[in-house]
Amino acid sequence: MTSPDTTDRPLDPGGPAPASDVVRLLTEALGAKVRTDEQTLARVRTDESGHATDAPPLALVEAETVEDVQAVCRICTATGTPIVSRGAGTGLAGGSIGGAGEVVLSTARMDRILEISPQNRLAVVQPGILNGALNAVLAEQGLWWPPDPASKDISSVGGNIATNAGGLLCAKYGVTRESVLALKVVLADGTLISVGHRTVKGVTGLDLCALMIGSEGVLGVIVECTLKLRPAITGPVPTIAAFFEDVEAAAHACSAVTAARLEPAIMELLDEQILAAVSAHTGVDLIGKGRSYVLIQTDGPGAEATAEQIRAVLEENGARVEFARDPADAARLVEVRRQVHPAMTRLGTALIEDVAVPRDRLSAMYRRIAEIAQRHDVVIPTNAHAGDGNLHPTFIFEGTEVPQQVWDAADELFQYAIELGGTLTGEHGVGLLKRRWLGDELGTDQLALQRRIKAAFDPDGLLNPGKVFAPVEAAPANQH
Amino acid sequence: MTSPDTTDRPLDPGGPAPASDVVRLLTEALGAKVRTDEQTLARVRTDESGHATDAPPLALVEAETVEDVQAVCRICTATGTPIVSRGAGTGLAGGSIGGAGEVVLSTARMDRILEISPQNRLAVVQPGILNGALNAVLAEQGLWWPPDPASKDISSVGGNIATNAGGLLCAKYGVTRESVLALKVVLADGTLISVGHRTVKGVTGLDLCALMIGSEGVLGVIVECTLKLRPAITGPVPTIAAFFEDVEAAAHACSAVTAARLEPAIMELLDEQILAAVSAHTGVDLIGKGRSYVLIQTDGPGAEATAEQIRAVLEENGARVEFARDPADAARLVEVRRQVHPAMTRLGTALIEDVAVPRDRLSAMYRRIAEIAQRHDVVIPTNAHAGDGNLHPTFIFEGTEVPQQVWDAADELFQYAIELGGTLTGEHGVGLLKRRWLGDELGTDQLALQRRIKAAFDPDGLLNPGKVFAPVEAAPANQH
């Protein structure tokens, strides 16, 4: 896979300034916050997807204040230099990686909590704070920010917002979009705007706060986040381990739980290959008990009664059910689920895909994945957030270059997810790695409209060029 | 107050077609769906705000299909004719009223339920179905669409979405935005696009589904809605009636409930003037028991325990609390709350405002409202959705013309809400009646950005011109 052809993006009429001028201007304005050492630049050429750009960026700027971000944007606009904003760098779609001629603007050091208000059930934070670190502080006050990506201990709140991060709890508690009240955003030219409200309700003008969420750095740089909190979940969290004959039976049972109007907090499905890999990686024997596994937790008021109802539905659908009554056992089972990603990377290079389908199509999707794997002679262990229909088919291969048959298989998989009324990315985002398929899902008319909206924010095309939207001219020749 | 100066909007280079041509073209394409009789046109010049345009529109088209909507948009684009989309006409901000030279495009007859899927916990409906009618059908299947504006029995789902309607339940169950998965939208030129997903998660490209919600007809015409459902609430719904010495004490107690991490389903605050009017209108004596009144319900699992905790907080904060144990009594108290709007209109002409403030500023806002009322010699009964900080200061006056001192008082009230970190409209929208203050809340830079986004959707400015955004040149001279 090639890196984005960064020379093809639109530039201001005078053309870009020489690279040395840009770095000089940045250094004059921001001093030691500008990093150009080889090791640093190598780090920000890649993310957790493993994909790297073909060449290092010009510089990494580690912003510490809103004014720093504005200064970078003004210099980059004046010199026609692309800006790649970046949080903790844990993305899985190449959305925040910097290449030739680009400046990577990191908000990782802007990691302070500015306010926690139990009265208004909100927190105001800088974007660089890690989700897990924030929630540790909130928990002391009986509060909780629900977004729950598997990466939460290492991913930033700003990154969670920029990708509209999902996670395990979304069917019950919503995606990140439902947990953000307001944002401060720096536009490409350095203008600072405030979108959204400190209030629960607010309908003044177009909802640009919602539009910013999941926009992957192509509209603006998020510099402050007002987060909608919930009361911390208290009381027991009954945990169910359910084993099935095969993955289709497991998927069918999960759909039956939803159809029965029951609301688990998490409902995670592991297929046989995932089960084997996770058992080997963690030393917790799951594969000995069944060929597919569903982990379910209920929480909040009525958690015990809901768990019993869910157990009944699972058993009617062929499950062998175990209850983890001990909180430590339960926590260990959830931790096992969180080890899926590390377990996959032990098997080889792992390209983690991220389709989502309507919940009643989960077993159809699993069936098709098995067919695709066989036909293309590839290995595709697949786990799913079964409560919301989000599957992670994971392609395992050797080396760093994605083999052609993997892309061919992925292409078929995406097309089928879209055909089922689903999406090619449930929670990871488009970034560089999925922009090729963007038009397949949005359609030509909507894609053109989305490009016009991008231009309304960023007329010079300097914010994260080549991410989400392929360069117009280069698109056919420059896929992935 | 004058109507929007519809002659000042941008038109296509050739200028608009003569009105007779537009009506002829519409009638050729759509036959009897095109209405030009005087009574019909008089009806669509106004909404529940009582505000009317200065002159009737050219025609009302009662679309029955998506193709009808596309045909209207194509004819209007070809002839440079403005399009005002309209649902049930229950808006409170003049957002869907048609004036001189405009075509009103109603989706009220597109009122079918296309699909209900318990497996996917979604419904697909046409925009014209009434919220209450839909929920009656859903209830039979143990499902529920949460948006709950006071108008729900007479307002349409499409209108709820176009205004991002709020209501009584938002603190616990979110605003309309949280209950919409996908939309089909016809753009000004007749192009049909699909935004959002049938899935819980989906992050492919910019979130145009979220952007459409609350866009008040200025971006596109909503023609199909995929709604996110919840399981119907079952079990008892404990209901608390709490009486206070004064409204500030009541507001303070409501803030204390939120600060205590408790989650009522509804928490409605009525001040003394509202209490007197509602008591007179409904015959339920509330004013005899206190000078301010808070109605609270809890629901779902743990409802009883939560209600007891809330009672304790209220009593600590000076309330005299009554529990309505009988479901009929409880339903009657909720119905009393829903009669606030009719009770107000009995007092005179009622201009219902709609500010929202951070929840801990509720008592500050009430204090300021009392000062403003006294200083401007106006009457401002005010109820509040206290769970989410949304207040409805209601100006009562004689006749149809809003007196200048009412606008002056409203202006002060809006400025103070914004100063507190709030908004000039929590749930009614900007429409015509609040566009004057849009820039006060958004700021100049964001307002310019919002206009560019509007232009990206609707380059000829034909969709609901003069609503939300004032005509650019005419703005200073053409307020309200």
Identify the closest residue of chain B to A141 by CA–CA distance.
B261
Residues in A closer than 8 angstroms to B231, CB to CB, are: 261-263
Beta bridge partners of B112: none
Q: How far apart are CA B27 and CA A431, in angstroms?
A: 48
> Phi/psi zone of residue A464: left (φ > 0), alpha (ψ -120 to 50 degrees), beta?
left
The token duo for B464 is 């609901």
Instruction: Give the distance from CA A397 to its chain's centroid.
Output: 22
With beta carbons less than 8 A apart as the criterion, state whether B470 and B438 touch: yes
Residues 81-140 of B with CB under 8 A from A: 117-122
Mean pLDDT of chain B: 93
Q: What is the pLDDT of residues A70-115, one digit of tens each?
A: 999 999 999 999 999 999 999 999 999 999 999 999 999 999 999 9
**Residue A333 reports pLDDT greater than 90:** no
Residues 378-437 of B with CB under 8 A from A: 385, 387-390, 421-430, 434
Shortest Cα distance from B35 to chain A (angstroms)? 31
The reported pLDDT for the residue numbered B177 is 97
Q: What is the pLDDT of residues A279-300, one digit of tens each?
A: 999 888 888 889 999 999 999 9
User: Of B199, B422, B427, which is closest to A356 when you measure between CB atoms?
Assistant: B199
Among B200, B450, B453, which would you mutate to test the A interface (most chain A Cβ atoms within 10 Å of its Cβ)? B200
| Mean pLDDT for the stretch of residues B417-440 | 95
Q: What is the pLDDT of residues B282-333, one digit of tens each?
A: 888 888 889 999 999 999 989 999 999 999 999 999 999 999 878 888 888 8
Segments making up each domain of chain A, as ranges: 6-106, 113-231, 239-419
- Torsion sign (Cα): A335, A337, A340, A341: negative
Cross-chain residue pair B457–A449, CB shorter than 8 Å: yes
CATH of B239-419, one of 3.40.190.10, 3.20.20.140, 3.40.462.10, 2.60.120.330: 3.40.462.10
Q: How far apart are CA B105 and CA A34, in angstroms?
A: 55
The reported pLDDT for the residue numbered A473 is 62
Cross-chain residue pair A457–B445, CB shorter than 8 Å: no
The kind and range of the H/E element at B124 are strand B122-125
Q: How far apart are CA B316 and CA B453, in angstroms?
A: 49
| Mean pLDDT for the stretch of residues A309-317 | 98
Residues 41-70 of A with CB under 8 A from B: none
Q: How far apart are CA A311 and CA A321, in angstroms?
A: 7
Shortest Cα distance from B133 to chain A (angstroms)? 21
**pLDDT level of residue B480 (50, 70, 90 thresholds):** very low
| Mean pLDDT for the stretch of residues B205-211 | 98
What single DSSP character describes residue A331?
A: H
The reported pLDDT for the residue numbered A8 is 40
Q: How far apart are CA B423 and CA A194, in angstroms?
A: 13
User: What number of C-beta contacts closer than 8 Å exist between A and B?
Assistant: 294
Identify the closest residue of chain B to A199 by CA–CA distance.
B358
**Residue A476 reports pLDDT greater than 60:** no
User: In sequence order, which residues have a C-beta less than 8 Å from that of residue B294 and are 6 or more positions away?
Assistant: B240, B241, B242, B244, B250, B253, B254, B267, B268, B269, B270, B314, B319, B386
Instruction: Give the distance from CA A289 to its chain's centroid.
Output: 31
Q: What is the pLDDT of residues A137-195, one digit of tens each?
A: 999 999 999 999 989 999 999 999 999 999 999 999 999 999 999 999 999 999 999 99
With beta carbons less than 8 A apart as the criterion, state whether B329 and B262 touch: no
Cross-chain residue pair B205–A438, CB shorter than 8 Å: yes
Q: How far apart are CA B356 and CA B389, in angstroms?
A: 5
The reported pLDDT for the residue numbered A14 is 52
Shortest Cα distance from A57 to chain B (angstroms)? 25
Kindly report the pTM of this predicted structure: 0.94
The reported pLDDT for the residue numbered B326 is 85
**Among the listed residues B119, B149, B112, B117, the one whose alpha carbon sits nearest the alpha carbon of residue B134:** B112
User: Going edge to edge, which strands form the sheet with A221-228?
Assistant: A113-117, A122-125, A221-228, A180-186, A192-196
With beta carbons less than 8 A apart as the criterion, state whether A98 and A61 touch: no
Identify the closest residue of chain B to A452 by CA–CA distance.
B456
Identify the closest residue of chain B to A185 by CA–CA distance.
B446
Q: How far apart are CA A59 and CA A74, in angstroms?
A: 15
Identify the closest residue of chain A to B424 by CA–CA distance.
A204
Q: How far apart are CA A319 and CA A246, in angstroms?
A: 10
The reported pLDDT for the residue numbered B332 is 83
Q: How far apart are CA A321 and CA A318, in angstroms?
A: 9
Cross-chain residue pair B175–A423, CB shorter than 8 Å: no
| Owner of token pair 């910019």 | B206
DSSP code per residue over A289-307: T-SEEEEEE--STTHHHHH
Q: What is the pLDDT of residues B144-168, one digit of tens each?
A: 999 999 899 999 999 999 999 999 9
User: Of B194, B206, B442, which is closest to A215 when you measure between CB atoms?
Assistant: B206
What single DSSP character describes residue B191?
A: -
Longest CA–CA span in chain B (Å) reads 70
User: Of A187, A199, A424, which is closest to B423 when you measure between CB atoms?
Assistant: A199
| Mean pLDDT for the stretch of residues A191-209 | 96
| Mean pLDDT for the stretch of residues A400-410 | 91
**Residue B420 reports pLDDT greater than 50:** yes
CB-based contact, B175 to chain A, within 8 Å: yes
Residues 201-230 of B with CB under 8 A from A: 201-208, 210-211, 213-215, 218-219
Q: What is the pLDDT of residues B68-106, one digit of tens each?
A: 999 999 999 999 999 999 999 999 999 999 999 999 999
Shortest Cα distance from A307 to chain B (angstroms)? 13
User: Of B389, B429, B446, which is closest to A199 when you measure between CB atoms?
Assistant: B389
**Among the listed residues A154, A115, A109, A113, the one whose alpha carbon sits nearest the alpha carbon of residue A131:** A154
Shortest Cα distance from A26 to chain B (angstroms)? 25
The reported pLDDT for the residue numbered A7 is 39
User: Of A258, A453, A468, which is closest to B456 when you measure between CB atoms?
Assistant: A453
Shortest Cα distance from B283 to chain A (angstroms)? 32
- The CATH classification number of A6-106 equals 3.30.43.10
Q: What is the pLDDT of residues B360-393, one digit of tens each?
A: 999 999 999 999 999 999 999 999 999 999 999 9
CATH of A113-231, one of 3.30.465.10, 3.40.470.10, 3.40.50.2300, 3.40.50.720: 3.30.465.10
Cross-chain residue pair A208–B454, CB shorter than 8 Å: no
The token duo for A80 is 């026609």
**Among the listed residues A74, A73, A71, the one whose alpha carbon sits nearest the alpha carbon of residue A85:** A73
CB-based contact, B456 to chain A, within 8 Å: yes
